[in-house]
Each structure stands twice: as C-alpha cells, then as structure tokens.
Structure 1
Amino acid sequence: MKEKWMMASDGPWEEMKPRITTALESGFDCVVARQEDVERIRRLGDIRIGSFGTERGGEDILIVGRGGEGDGSVPLPEDLGASLDISLARAADGVVAGYVEIRGKRYEEFAVELGKSVDYLVVVGTDWKVIPLENMIAGLQGAKVKIISGVKTAEEAEVDFATLEKGADGILLDTSDLSEIKRVQKLAEKAGMARLDLSIARITTVRPVGMGDRVCVDTCTMMRPGEGMLVGSQSKAAFLVQSESEESSYVAARPFRVNAGAVHAYVKVGEKTRYLSELKAGDEVTIVDAEGGTKTAVVGRVKIEKRPLMLIEAEVDGEKISTLLQNAETIKLVGKGGGPKAVTDLQPGDEVLVHFEGKARHFGMSIEESILER
C-alpha cells in the first residue's frame, strides 16, 4: 500500500486540527506537524508524526532540510556529499527523512545524494511533475529509502503513484480541502492493489457429500458483486467465492461476508495461503474481484458451524481442482463474465474464475516441489 502523509505544520493548531482528524479518519500513515503539536496529535489518535528540525523531539520521524539546503535557505555546496543536511541526517538517531524542494537540476541531484542517507526522501516542487520523479526513482534504485512526493491534489497524487510503474512510495498531501484528503485515500488504495491472474475452469462434478464444519468469514470491508476470496482444497488452485453481497429470497445481503468453505480449505492471504480454520478476528485476508484486482480486509469475526457440504470439482489447464462449499443458494462462485453462479445451480460444463499457480506450497509459501493433492 502506498503511504499517505498529511502536511499540517504551516499554520495555527486550530487550522491544522481538521486536516489531522480527517487524515486519521482516512487511514493516513503520517502527519507532518510542528514539534510543539506532537502531544496534541497523540491525544487525537494513533498515527506516526514527522517534524521538521535539526534535533529530535517527540516525533517519530525527524525531517531535515527545511531551513537548510533542502529548501534553498542555505546554498548548495559545490560538493553535494559535503552538505550540512546530509551530515545532520547521518548523525540523527531513529527514523530520519530528508526534505528537498526541486528548484532545478542541482536540487534533483542533491535529492538523490540525500536519499542515500535517510529512511524517507520527501520531494516537493511547483513547476515539475513526472520527469524529475522518474530520475530520482532511477537514481535511488537499490537504496532502502522510500520516496514521498509532495502533492496538492488527488490528480497529482494519481500521477505520482503510477510513475515508472513502481511510482513514488507515497505522497505528502498539502491541502486545506478536506474532501481532497478522502479522494487521495481512495486513489492510494487503488494504486496499492496488486493484480492476480485469473483463469477459467470448467466444472466437471457437483455433488452433495454430507455434513461438515464450514467457515464463514465476516470482514470489516463491504464488498461488491464479483468480489470475494480465493478458496480451494489444493494450495496451488483456488476458486473465487463471491461475498454475500446480493439479496436472496431467504436472507438479506451481507456484503461484508464470505461463506468461504470447509475448515480444511486454503484461503489466499497476500503472497501466501492459510487454512480457513486458522483465521481469527484481527487477521488480514485478501479480497479479489473478477478482474483480478486485490485489496486487504481485516477479519472481524469467524464462524465455524456444521452445515451440509457440496463437492465442486473443475478442470483448468488439464488439471483437476476441487473445493467444498456449503450447500446453499446464497453461496456463489464468480462466473467467466464476472457474474455470480450459485453452487446449487452449478452444472458440469459451467465456467468459473479460479486462480491457478501450478506450484505447490509448503507452510503457505509457493515452492517448486512435486506434491500431489487430491
């Protein structure tokens, strides 16, 4: 996920407070504020705080560069490596960020040098957009620094997130428009989404198999039709099981819920898999849509109950895959075109979306090994 920072250091507390509270509500990662406001912010909520200065106060991230070479207050030295800001950054304890206003090519070069000595590099400017950011990303390849790009609008944030595919690691938003803060959060979530390749599997078998323990996962995220979780009996293949985001004749829609399958099944969580039976409140799971877009959701509750189960087998790339789901019309897979297919209506020959890796997994991690799962 791209990091979101909020600028709240350039005005009186009463003007900055609405920015800070909106940033907190929008899931921002850091607030850049004056050192004298740090304790006030801590009382508002749990968020990292960055402050400009030459000595560390109570902030989490010390930001050097303002009032120095970074903003032009002090001329850049002939030898950029001899910069006072770089010396301050190297001497400081804890997490350090460097701040540079890009006023020309020399400042761009200075930003790259400073970036080699800090944990974060905050770069801002007025008459530049993509090209300098591209150069800095390229110049700092291999360095552990994260680049935070200064923006004033959601449109600028969208460009910076996408630069050179990798994009900036985050943005520092400087605006008094509270609605813009909300827009940036939505863009950041979208920009941080990984994509999974989904394949089409053809159903071969659908039959009831009796009672078993099934897992219902309630998340803290509302899902749309076509979104759900990847679940399967084999670690290398998973069916896209849709959330209960549609009304039925029996129950109201519960778009936060995925009735995910039997306790033995695997569920996709980031780059790994976990057993459904292991999930608990506070864990993270991966939500996937019909285009392969992903996002992370927090588990709010897991219910394990005895229910009638149905075996579903399918074929993809010449291999047989399977899963067991509750035998109920509210349980749906996602079809080839993104539409729902209730398990009670499934027939051999129907096509559904699956994620197929073709690799086995050991303790949830993908490996090159011969493992036969039936």
Structure 2
Amino acid sequence: MKKVWLDCRNWKKDLVTTAIESGVDAVLVNSDDVEKVKALGLICVIADDQKSDLRLGKDVLEITIKNKKDEERIASLKDQTAIVESQDWTIIPLENIIAQGAKVVFPVTSMADAKVALTILEKGVWGVLIRTDNPAVIKEIVAFAKGIGSQLVLQEFIIREVQKVSMGDRVCIDTITDMKLGEGMLIGNYSNAFFLVHSESVENPYVEPRPFRVNAGAVHAYVMMPNGKTKYLDELKTGDEILIVNQKGESIVSTVGRLKIEKRPMLNIVAKAGDKEVSIILQNAETIRLTQPSGEPVSVVKLAKGDKVLGYTEEGGRHFGFKIKESINEK
C-alpha cells in the first residue's frame, strides 16, 4: 500500500489532527514538536530528534536531484527512504529512480501532483509527502493513495464438476471493509490459481447480509495478499492486511478484523482455466458464492458443468508465500 506522509514543519495542530484522523502514515515535524504530535494520537513521527520514530538525516534523507550522481545515490539506498526534491523536476528522472526500485517519497501540494507521482510507470513512487495548509487536500490524497491496488487480469474459469467432500474446517474472513456487489477475495487450492470468492453482500432469505465477510473455504487454501504475496487461510490473524478484488480486477487493501473457523460440510469445485485444471474447496451452502464474468454472484450449490466464473492464474509457484519462477506441480 502506498505511504502518505505530511510535512508539518510549519506546525499546525489542526493539520496533524486531520492527518491522524485521515490515516496518514507519518508526520514530519521539527524536533520541538515531536511530543506535541505524540500527545494527539498514535502516528509515526519523523524528525531530527532521538524521540522520533524515524530519524531525519539517518532513516529518512532529503535529497535534491541536481545531476545524474544524485539519481544514482538515491537508487543505491537500501535501508533508507529518500524524500526526493528537484528544482527543475520533470517526469523522466523520477521514472528512472522508480524503475531501479528505490524507496522514494515525493513532495506533492495537490491531488493532481499526487496522482502523477503515485501512478508513474504504473508502479508509482513508494509514497508522497503532502505539503498543504488545506485539510481537505490531505483527506483527498489519503483516500486516493490508500485506494490504489494492483490491477489484476482476471480470466474465465469453466466449471467441470462440483463434488461433495467430507466435513472440514472452514474459514470466514471478517474485514473492516463493507464490500460491494462484484467484490470478494482471490482464493484457491493451489498457489498459482485463485477463484474470485464473492463477499456475503447479497440479500438472501436465509441470513442477513454481512458485506464485511468472505466465507473463504478450507483452512489449507491460499488467499491472495497485497504486494503479490499469499498466505494459507489458517495463517491469517487479526490485523493482517488483505486484498479485496472486484470483477474488473481492481483491488484495494483492507484489514482482517476477525476470523471464524468452524467445521462445515464442504464442496470441491473443479474448473478449467485455459489448459490448466484448477480447484477450490468451499462450504456446501447456498450463501457461498463465486463471481460470474458480469460481476453477479452465483451460489456454489447452483453451479453446473460449463458455467463460467472469474479467477486469476499465475506462472510458477510459491515459497513461503513469495512468488518464484521455479516450476511447481500442484494437484
């Protein structure tokens, strides 16, 4: 998830309060103001002071790009974050730095600046440093930055069969986000093939909708996490960041609020994704749904051979949740 910092070295209490309430990740202040920030709320403080969380000049560097050597210096940083300044800024130097994987925070004064910085080369900078006296601009930039997720190319999975299997331990993921129609999570039996399991945001005659929840399936399954990582459902815990995806492949990051693991009757759903066989084990219940290409949910108990649902596949495999190029055969 993109980071948003606020430059408040010209101290304004109302701006720091807005930053904390809006979800800003860190506030940059003068050393005399560190305790003032900490008194207002829990937030990372950056300053040239021993009491700060990140030390300006040590953990965080301010570097002005004047020539190629400055670019190379930024690109070579490993454990430090660079606030990148430029007296004559163009998009090209910033693109060069991002392409080399540098941890760059770019100063912005408006929503327009933030959009450019956060989306350059599709990847965007690591974060932005807001410089403004307008609380509304802070809120707008935070909302945009935190809403940016990876764009995934979903594909159609063609259902081959639905099999009843034994009772199993099923995981419900309760998030801190109310999901909408077409939104859910990418989950599957294999580390390179995921079904878009729909959220419980659908009206039905059996139970009240719980739009914050995805009934995610058996404990062994993989779930797609932010930054291209995966976890087993059984590994998840309260406070973990989780990826929410819609039928267009657009994603946002939410947080796990609670997990419910209970024994339930299960179904093994087998499908074809191109020439690959993929599968997922979900609870055998009318309220559990996959997602059709239209974005409409379809109950697992109504699935039939030839039906199309949305999913996502990758090449290679996983090692401790990280994508690797090694060929791994899962079946």
Indicate which of 39, 43, 51 corresponds to 1:58.
Answer: 51
Q: 1:209 to 1:45 in 2, by over 3 A?
A: same
1:222 counterpart residue number = 178
Is the Cα contact below 8 Å between 2:190 and 2:330 reproduced in 1?
no
Contact 1:61 1:97 in 2 (8 A): no
Q: Cα gap change, 1:154/1:350 in structure 2, threshold over 3 Å: closer, same or farther?
A: same
Quick one: structure 1 residues 247 and 317, their matched pair in 2 at CA, closer, same or farther if it must change by over 3 Å?
same
- The equivalences for 1:261-276 within 5 A come to 261-270=217-226, 271-276=228-233
What count of residue pairs does the alignment treat as equivalent? Answer: 326
- For residues 10 and 231 of structure 1, do their structure 2 counterparts lie closer, same or farther at Cα, with a shift above 3 Å needed? same
27, 30, 52: which one pairs with 2:23? 27
User: In the TM superposition, what are the counterparts of 1:340-359 in structure 2 within 5 Å?
Assistant: 340-359=297-316
**Structure 2 length as normaliser, TM-score?**
0.87
The aligned amino acid for 1:6 is: L
Which aligned runs of 4 or more in structure 1 are off by greater than 6 angstroms?
A: none
Q: TM-score under structure 1 normalisation?
A: 0.78
Inter-CA distance 174–330: structure 2 relative to 1 (3 Å threshold):
same
Aligned residue for 1:324? 281
Shift, 1:210, TM fit: 4.5
Does the 8 Å contact 2:171/2:260 carry over to 1? yes
Does structure 1 residue 39 correspond to structure 2 residue 30? no
Matches within 5 A, 1:257-336: 257-270=213-226, 271-336=228-293
Which residue of structure 2 aligns with residue 123 of structure 1?
A: 85
Matches within 5 A, 1:74-223: 94-98=58-62, 100=64, 107=66, 112=71, 115=74, 119-123=81-85, 132-138=90-96, 142=100, 144=102, 146-191=103-148, 193-223=149-179
Identity %, equivalent residues = 40
Unaligned regions of 5+ residues in structure 1, if any?
A: 64-91
SS at match of 2:42: coil
- How many angstroms does 1:57 deviate by? 5.0
| Alignment-derived partner of residue 81 in structure 1 | none
Is contact 2:26-2:45 (8 Å) kept?
Answer: yes
Q: Deviations over 1:264-293 (max 9, x none)?
A: 222222433322122222223222221222
* Counterpart-to-counterpart distance in 1, 2:248 and 2:211: 18
Counterparts of 1:315 and 1:143 in 2: how far apart (Å)?
36
Structure 2 equivalent of residue 254 of structure 1: 210
Aligned partners of 1:124 and 1:149 also within 8 Å: no
Q: Is the 8 A contact 1:147 1:170 kept in 2?
A: yes
Alpha-carbon distance in 1 for matches of 2:143, 2:304: 39
Match of 2:329 in 1: 371
Superposed CA RMSD: 2.7
Q: Is 1:231 equivalent to 2:187 in the alignment?
A: yes
User: By how many angstroms is 1:347 displaced?
Assistant: 1.4
Which of the two has higher C-alpha Rg?
Answer: 1
- Residues 14-51 of structure 1, C-alpha deviation per residue, up to 9 Å, x if partnerless? xx112112111222122122211101111222322233
Distance 2:55 2:230 in 1: 38
